[in-house]
Amino acid sequence: MTAFMNVEPTAVNLSAVTEMAISGEMEASTAAGAAALTATTPMVTTSDDATFTAALNSAGAGYMAASQAHVGQRTAYAGAQNLASLGYVIQELMSATNVNNII
């Protein structure tokens, strides 16, 4: 089948699957490190250690939020790729059946 506008739906679908796999790996590795990133405790009970621990936990929480946003964007991109692939397949089917003359 000749691809509409030189797009190969199988290649687009493979890219979408790759994006989802990368998203899953990122989500798993971030979740595995969540405790180390957000649950630090002061070594000694001084105000400096408490402040430093709070800063570390805050930075870890920021990293977790950024990572989750990135995974969300990758997932949305994969969904858009799947939708685009479907659109190209439908266009090819419509061209092959000459739908314009039927309507």
DSSP, residue by residue, the chain: -PPGGG--HHHHHHHHHHHHHHHHHHHHHHHHTHHHHH----SSSSHHHHHHHHHHHHHHHHHHHHHHHHHHHHHHHHHHHHHHHHHHHHHHHHHHHTHHHH-
For the domain covering 8-95, report its CATH number: 1.10.287
Cβ proximity of 13 and 82 under 8 Å: yes
Domain spans of the chain, in order of start: 8-95
Does residue 3 carry a pLDDT above 60? no
Residue 99: predicted pLDDT: 66
More reliable by pLDDT, 97 or 68: 68
Rounded to the nearest integer, the mean pLDDT of the chain is 89
What mean pLDDT do residues 57-73 have? 96
What mean pLDDT do residues 96-102 have? 73
Place of tokens 């490190």: 33
